[in-house]
Amino acid sequence: MSKKSRSRGGGGASGDDHEDLARPPPLQAVLLADSFTLKFRPITLERPKVLLPLVHMPMIEYTLTWLESAGVDEAFVFCCAHSHQVKEYLDKSGWAGKAGAGSMSVTAVESHDAISAGDALRVIYERGVIHGDFVLISGDTISNMSLKDALQEHMDRKKKDPLAVMTMILKHSKPSILTHQTRLGNDEIVMAIDPETKELLYYEDRADTSHLYVTIDKDILTNNSTLQLHNDMEDCYIDICSPEVLSLFTDNFDYQHLRRHFVKGLLVDDIMGYKLYTHELRSGYAARIDNFRSYDTVSKDVIQRWTYPMVPDVISNRDCSESRLHRQGIYKASDVTLSHSAQIGASSVVGSATSIGDHCKVLNSVIGEGCKIGKNVLINGSYVWDNVIIEDGCKVSNSLVCDGVHLKAGAIVEPGCVLSFNVEVGKNVVVPAHSKVSLLPQPSNEDSDEELEYADTNSGVTESTPFSSMRSNGDQATVPSEEDESGTSKIGTCGVVGYIWTSGDTGILEEWRQSIAPIPKEKLEELQHAVSEDDGSEDESNNPTLPDKDDSSDIAVEDDDPFSKFEKEVEETFQRALGGGVNRDNLILEINGLRLAYSLQHADCAGAVFYSVMKSALVAAQSTNDTLLKTTAEALGKWKDLLRNYTKTIDEEV
């Protein structure tokens, strides 16, 4: 994208000193060029995530271009993993220094000791480069939004309340009709927001979607007359911060993760009283690339021009021919060599100096620069990076193929695969679905908290799966594998040159959730079945949470929990009263008997009765929100005398 030069105040003498004093301070930004996660391994062992191509352009190019267009004057790029590559890119692309940097100056801040975002911000604080409010963003975030309104809101709040230290950019995201989740594979976020002030009151980024409840501290409900509970908001990881944010990280070395530690820490800190606010993005685009599935989603958004002007025909690699937009959303460089019998499908991108042979089909895919694709090749829903060789008769489905990969004739790459740099797949070899293949062995000591993006050079290697597990396409068999000194296995010219990685943390997030591949049919059925069970309002999925818990994470109620048993028995008794089996006076006697049997208080009875009343209203209301409101009011009016028996004091009412 061409950069407009803008006159900056500086060296020359001027008689307009009063104008310089009135001029607002320059807007600064901190860009984290390290994600401090392992989700893009094995690729990020060789190249930092921010330099991975997203529709032909490194992710960081989108982020820097947006920051400049949003009015940022000075950006500091914090780099740790493969910092020399990041600095080299900034120099080569013209962002670093004055020459070619346009109106935004870009400075790299390097550290080899940081293992988290918290460490990165502590380094920024120590360098003393931030002098006012700043934008904090991850280098894997793509946006075209205007910052004007969010910045103004932040500044106005600070004038009224100096304790307002951060404004987080959020966007509304409708859950998928198929999966009922906002973005499958990402953390399911639940947050509570004051609808009037937009103050963030509660944030949980590891919500358990298998249940229909979350645990919220009762003080939040006591201290706030109204709040909105959201599970339909996406965190864009774009924050407007006061300088105090950096000092807070410096004062609290426990703050490592931006959300899990810092945001949650401030929300429960009653001493300092700092406040976090939100700004909902109502126009424009913003999304973070968190894993391979969101990489696929954002790539499609770029191709379909939701990110305009961050699109291939506007920003392009300065060293190669520009892509041109053709009909059906097809982008093609002017120097592509394309056979007359080859077919390029809708929403596809083909890069400079690439040749595509006879009877090939490229459907809904991105092909990089300098690729050589033979005859009768099918590439569907995939991302093929630069200088890849795909010989005749190959098939690549919903996979990611990195620079320099060589697929020999007849090779098949099944959905969900990741072939890292310079991997070779032999003739007629079938790479099984969801395989991750790299020339580098898999490190054995991956951090379970996902704090390191790059490999420890002293780490050991795990026993990667032997490539004998890869089957042959046709009658040609793969050659026997030869084990290297580490116990991992490689295959020769008829198999695959490289290591196959085992899936990590499959107990927390299964591989298919974060994959480029379409959702497997059986998994989709499981998701739909789980949602249908929740909609049935069965007792198991609506068990209440334990009271008076300080932990803000979701708490599953065990079957042998006394309060859970008490609440179930109260509900059963209440249901009999609804059906006419128990009159009101006897209902009170039975509930009192249960209270004594379980050694509980009147407030516990009030909570159990209130839950039963509200649930009866929810079951009765089957149509609109208005119907639900009306039914709830009727139920509360009908049973208010019963509730009064157990709410003798204000505390019991609360």
Please, what are the averages of pLDDT over each run of 10 residues along the chain (654 residues)? 40 47 75 83 89 92 91 88 87 71 78 80 85 90 91 89 89 64 65 86 72 73 81 86 85 75 76 85 87 90 89 71 82 90 92 92 93 94 94 94 93 92 91 89 59 39 45 44 42 65 56 77 68 50 40 38 76 78 73 77 80 78 72 82 75 60
pLDDT for res 626: 78
Q: Evaluate whether 124 touches 76 at the Cβ level (below 8 Å).
A: yes
SS3 210: coil
Q: What is the distance between the alpha carbons of residues 295 and 385, in angstroms, rounded to a whole number?
A: 14
Q: Looking at residue 52, what DSSP letter applies?
A: S
Q: Evaluate whether 576 touches 586 at the Cβ level (below 8 Å).
A: no
Q: What is the distance between the alpha carbons of residues 161 and 523, in angstroms, rounded to a whole number?
A: 48
Q: Supply the pTM of this predicted model.
A: 0.71
Q: Which residues contact 649 (CB under 8 A, 6 or more apart)?
A: none
Q: What is the distance between the alpha carbons of residues 647 and 479, in angstroms, rounded to a whole number?
A: 77
For residue 68, with 0-12 CB atoms within 10 Å meaning exposed, 13-18 middle and 19 or more buried, which class applies?
buried
SS3 343: strand
Q: Evaluate whether 200 touches 277 at the Cβ level (below 8 Å).
A: yes
Q: Looking at residue 322, what DSSP letter applies?
A: P
| Residue labelled with tokens 């400049």 | 68
For residue 417, with 0-12 CB atoms within 10 Å meaning exposed, 13-18 middle and 19 or more buried, which class applies?
buried
Encoded tokens for 530: 């789980």
Q: What is the distance between the alpha carbons of residues 228 and 473, in angstroms, rounded to a whole number?
A: 55
Q: What is the dihedral of CA 408, 409, 414, 416, to 10 degrees?
A: 30
Instruction: Write phi, then psi, for 437 (nearest 5 degrees).
Output: -120, 135
The number of CA neighbours under 13 Å toward the Cβ of 600 is: 25
Q: Looking at residue 431, what DSSP letter applies?
A: E
Using DSSP bridges, classify how beta strands 275-281 and 164-172 pair: parallel, antiparallel or unpaired: parallel
Q: What is the dihedral of CA 56, 61, 67, 72, to 10 degrees?
A: -150
pLDDT for res 508: 36
Sheet holding 355-356, edge to edge: 337-338, 355-356, 372-373, 389-390, 406-407, 424-425, 496-497
pLDDT for res 17: 52
Reported as type and span, the H/E element at residue 259 is none
pLDDT for res 452: 46
Encoded tokens for 130: 């931030």
Encoded tokens for 209: 């979607």
| Residue labelled with tokens 């620079």 | 403
pLDDT for res 461: 40
Instruction: Write phi, then psi, for 286 (nearest 5 degrees).
Output: -160, 130
pLDDT for res 120: 82
**Largest CA-CA distance found in the chain, in angstroms, rounded:** 92
The number of CA neighbours under 13 Å toward the Cβ of 152 is: 4
List of E strands, 177-232: 190-193, 200-204, 228-230
Q: What is the distance between the alpha carbons of residues 215 and 509, in angstroms, rounded to a whole number?
A: 22
Q: What is the distance between the alpha carbons of residues 515 and 5, in angstroms, rounded to a whole number?
A: 41
Q: Looking at residue 540, what DSSP letter applies?
A: G
Q: What is the distance between the alpha carbons of residues 430 and 411, in angstroms, rounded to a whole number?
A: 6
pLDDT for res 423: 92
